[in-house]
Amino acid sequence: MNKHQEAAFEVVFKLYYPRLVYFAKEFVPDSESKNLVQDAFISMWDKKPQFINESQLQSYLYTNVKNNCLMFLRHEKVKKKYKSEAAFQKQNQIYTEALNGLDTSTVTFQEIESIIEKTLSELPDRCREVFILSRMEGKKNKEVAEALDISVKAVEAQITKALKTLRVSLKDYLPLVAWLLINVK
């Protein structure tokens, strides 16, 4: 091995590759473990270290694979942090744009109230009754079901129907009425 004979390298590779892959799999995903072990062998071939005995060779290879795994894990941590920050920045940008485009004048709130009243009046009677009890009076679905003598599933279905209708009617004002759509009981 000290003379970099290809045959010696091949023997070392065949002997240690499976062991090193098994070692690396304990710390990194399967798909990466093989690459990291191959990188260790490439590094050994390029650097041409001198080994006095097999113990030094083994120590060199395991240390190299360990360091490759550590570098991979650090890189993954940085990627995850960057993705998380990028997602936060994108969400923050969306919220900023939504707030900048938001008209909070009295006229807007009156328009929203008018649209809600008109939309509610156009709902089927049972749907409107369920929605008013749930969303405007703040009753839980179970309480609404008991009050109207219907199942909780029927209450949920009527609320879903009303919310879909309101979403369509209020599509231009959704940021201001998000509380109405989010607070499902």
Per-residue pLDDT at 146 exceeds 90: yes
Residue 35: how many other CB atoms lie within 10 Å: 14
Determine the Cα–Cα distance for residues 32 and 100; give it in Å rounded to an integer: 45
Q: Is pLDDT at 101 greater than 90 in this prediction?
A: no
- Is the pTM value of this prediction over 0.75? no
- In this predicted structure, what is the pLDDT of residue 45? 82
The pLDDT of residue 85: 83
pLDDT level of residue 92 (50, 70, 90 thresholds): confident
Set out the domains of the chain in order of their start, with CATH numbers. Answer: 6-98 (1.10.1740.10), 106-182 (1.10.10.10)
Distance (Å, rounded) from C-alpha 106 to C-alpha 98? 18
Token code pair at residue 159: 């609320």
pLDDT 10s digits, 9-57: 888 899 999 999 999 999 999 889 999 999 999 988 888 777 778 888 8
d(CA 90, CA 84): 10
Exposed, middle or buried by CB within 10 Å (0-12, 13-18, 19+), for 181? Answer: middle
Instruction: Tell me the range of 89-98, 111-120, 129-138 where mean pLDDT is highest.
Output: 129-138
CA distance linking residue 176 with residue 126, whole number of Å: 26
Q: How many C-alpha atoms does 23 have within 13 Å on its Cβ side?
A: 20
Residue 152 Cα distances to 35, 161, 184, angstroms: 55, 14, 13
